[in-house]
Amino acid sequence: MVDYTITKTQFGERPEFERPTKYLEELSIEGFRAMMDDFYHVLIESDIANFFPQDEEGLRKVIEHNTKYFIEISGGPKDYSKMMGHVDQVKMHEPFSIPDKARIEWLGCFQEVIEKQDVSDEAKQQFWNYLETHSKHMVNIPTKIRLPEDMVASH
């Protein structure tokens, strides 16, 4: 069984993460491409759809670009690096206002598509752990809302 826990982000943290190579090994590159296509079609129906192109051509470019990134980070061909060189993902996301709430929504969209994949729970867990940890790097707006557990802890 996969644990899809989403841990709290400490603003500015850059936790270490493990590359999810087992996921790509089990899913295959074609399976990964299909999953990413599904992911972005879930995403454009989500509460963070405004971050992504709404026209089919623009969305297709984003899907192709980001699929190359995720395949490479999962141990696949280095097509993304050949096309882009080294990219600082944090800087690349700076033009977008990304609060933790958007991160959680993004992860929820990924969970929906990961659950449908025909790979082992071990591979799904490894991919989820990567997404959950790496996504913390992209949060670039501090959350100013105090959660109930924070308020109890401060008294």
Q: Nearest 5°: phi and psi at 77?
A: -55, 150
Residue 15: its H or E element: none
* Proportion of the chain above pLDDT 90, given as a percent: 65
Q: How confident is the model at residue 148 (pLDDT cuts 50, 70, 90)?
A: low
Compute how many other C-beta atoms are within 10 angstroms of the C-beta atom of residue 119.
Answer: 19
Task: List domains and CATH numbers for the chain.
Answer: 21-153 (1.10.490.10)
Residue 21's pLDDT band (cuts 50, 70, 90): very high
- 3-class SS of residue 58: helix
Question: Position of tokens 């008294």?
Answer: 155
**Of 94, 99, 131, residue with least CA distance to 15:** 131
Residues 65-120: tens digit of each pLDDT? 999 999 999 999 999 888 877 766 767 767 677 888 999 999 999 999 999 999 99
